[in-house]
Amino acid sequence: MRFTKLKQLYLTILLLLTFSLIGCSDNQVTQAKCGEKKVVKAKCVGNFLFEGKSVESVTISRVGENMLDIKEPHASYHQDASIELQIFIDAIKTANKIDGIVDVAKADYYLTMSFENKTSSHYFLWLSDDGGSIMNENDSNTMYRLHSDLISDLNKYINGYKE
């Protein structure tokens, strides 16, 4: 009787270890596939969600002499560019609100996130080699600091570089 319980315990432990290894293995594939960073958690299965809506594309335009002078888009990423698209989604999701009142200079870029339901969100983006900020066009009283782990990738993708 005692030997059977010991067998059951070993079998249970073995099954738990097996499922744990399978789960970790799948997570690593997802991370590599989505370009996941240390701090940014992303799950990519072809459905890129932002605020409950499926993201179809992200386009980037330069800002001219003032915030109303938006140039033609120079970079665009669709669902087939999963790493790049996920980086932009993660950048907005993980940005930290800057407390207080901000006095903003002209933005560097204008980012448009288009959704499958034919709506879109628009953001002003300030980006340098070592930091960045983002502001929703519909909420010009609130600015967010971009997560430092994403700055390098954002700079690459803003300029149209694809992996």
Phi-psi region at 139: left, alpha or beta (left = phi > 0; alpha = psi -120 to 50): beta
Q: pLDDT per residue over 99-157, tens digit each?
A: 887 778 899 999 999 999 999 999 999 999 889 999 999 988 899 999 999 999 999 99
Which of 134, 138, 56, 46 is closest to 93 using CA atoms?
Answer: 134
Three-state DSSP state, 49: strand
Q: State the Cα–Cα distance between residues 151 and 154, nearest whole angstrom.
A: 5
The reply to whether the predicted model has a pTM over 0.75 is no
* Residues 6 or more apart whose Cβ sits within 8 Å of residue 69: 63
Three-state DSSP state, 119: coil
